[in-house]
Structure 1
């Protein structure tokens, strides 16, 4: 059995003190929001507990679907790289960026500069990239782009849409267990200012080419939506913020495990959600659900 772990929306705390010049942009509003609310929502102690619980499960690979930082301050990226190194080396951890990882245009390339080893395919390709780990063919996508103030939308920039369709189709012919990593979910119903702007085209690619799992973050909540595929429904799964406090309305900190077994053409996969239980005030198993097989 191969165990894939999935966590997201790290929002690493504490936030370094910004330089005044860094706040002459969208970051200024983000910093006010951090001081008023988000510094109490995203807690370093909660993140440490979630990571300790995850590592105790000894997964074979860890997927991180973005938002490691908060305002894309230059001083945030090195601590985030140290956080990733604490999870494992670049062969054991795969990352795709989120909207907070390219919060402003001046920081658009910082995530790739600092975390490149975690965001590169087996053949050194960038987005979309493919990593083979056990039975899983991990397909990494980037929806991370600078946006206007009060906007947190994403888009599959460049030629990712055309290329991911070809990649998924080729892997499908091999009957590989395809795991798509993306920050913004390609589902319907997202708030206009938080949506994936080309979600309909990504859904078309999934419907035509298929996948076994689509893993995302962004909404800070545990979710499971089924999308149509060419041969079977595709589970699209979100997780809470890994640093989320239990004292606010979003789902508190947690992560998912995917127990993958079987063989090409006859895969089995079970979803195991672990996280902070509001009543027991501890991290525990919250849900176990077969997804296929």
Structure 2
């Protein structure tokens, strides 16, 4: 029997308001544990600024294992509408080959589902939307997998509300879940709400497991900075939430608190 696959699921790094201690901790875990792959489910940056993408590019470039990256709503430029409409993912250029990169192992594949759109018919554009085009692309990748290969799908937004303090309200999410259930996906990994969750969602074609990762930024909701450690043994997926609450106290402390300890951007309670 082959060794189990070890996958790390990270989300919501939010460079620009990142947590350096959390990122150092995760980098150490990756270097020590050497997972088979790392899946990052969006919101690499805080405001999609060039300097934030540069920092994200540098950090991701040091991971040293296969990586797939899903864009998040914070990774679309919100302050320059022409860029948002015409080339919303331009600043992913330094690691464009990692964006929604399909990773295929002997009996498991990681396949991306984009839940971001430049604009939509509601005021809060931070919410997710699964377009028919994005869903068709994802399903085509799953259908093309070798016989016997199961799929884990990565998306930024949970495809339905997950019972967390953050909200999703993803348009087209229930339709997507039903189609993914039809194909027997192992799970859908997501982020966005900054708290981990693991739930089963019923659909007309059977249940789908939805797994959310927390954040590695200062924008905490109800739980500490965390990531998910996933183990696939060929039949079952085991999830372990790894959070900084379990570290020895000195690892959580900094030597000095600056006089102005306010983050550069105040957390926005209206969007995740």
Tell me, yes or no, whether TM beats 0.5.
yes
TM-score normalised per structure 1:
0.71
Deviation at 1:153, TM superposition (A): 1.1
Give yes or no for the alignment of 1:45 onto 2:48: no
Partner of 2:222: 250
Shift of 1:58: 1.6
Q: Which residue of 1 aligns with 2:262?
A: none
Deviations 1:16-64 (A, max 9, x none): xxxxxxxxxxxxxxxxxxxxxxx4xx42222222332343222111110
2:156 pairs with 1:183:
yes
Q: What are the within-5 Å matches in structure 2 for residues 80-159 of structure 1?
A: 80-88=56-64, 92-104=66-78, 105=81, 106-107=83-84, 108-119=88-99, 121=101, 130-147=102-119, 151-157=125-131, 159=133
Instruction: Report the aligned-residue RMSD.
Output: 2.9
Gaps of 5+ in 1: 16-38, 122-129, 284-293
Matched, 1:9 2:12: yes
Specify the SS of the correspondent of 2:223: coil
| TM-score with structure 2 setting the length | 0.76
Q: Which residue of the partner structure matches residue 171 of structure 2?
A: 197
Partner secondary structure for residue 88 of structure 1: coil
Question: In 1, Cα distance between the equivalents of 2:218 and 2:222?
Answer: 7
Q: Distance in 1 between matches of 2:147 and 2:205?
A: 14
Per mean C-alpha deviation after superposition, the further-off stretch among 267-276 and 42-51 is 42-51
- Counting matched residue pairs gives 239
Q: What is aligned with 1:207?
A: 181
Q: Tell me, yes or no, if structure 1 residue 76 matches structure 2 residue 52.
A: yes
Matched with 2:267 is none
The structure that is strand-richer by fraction is: 1
CA contact (8 A) 1:3 1:60 kept: yes
Q: In the TM superposition, what whole-angstrom CA distance separates every residue of 1:174-223 from its partner, at most 9, and x where no partner exists?
A: 22121101000112467997422211221221232220121100000010
Contact 1:135 1:177 in 2 (8 A): yes
Once residues 206 and 124 of structure 2 are traced to their aligned partners in structure 1, the CA distance between those partners, rounded to angstroms, is 37
Query: Which residue number in structure 2 is paired with residue 271 of structure 1?
Result: 239
User: How many angstroms apart in 2 are the aligned matches of 1:131 and 1:80?
Assistant: 21
1:260 equivalenced with 2:271 (yes/no):
no
Identify which of 233, 238, 244 aligns with 2:207.
233
Distance of aligned partners of 1:7 and 1:46 in 2 relative to their CA distance in 1, 3 Å threshold: same
Cα distance between partner residues in 2 of 1:143 and 1:250: 24
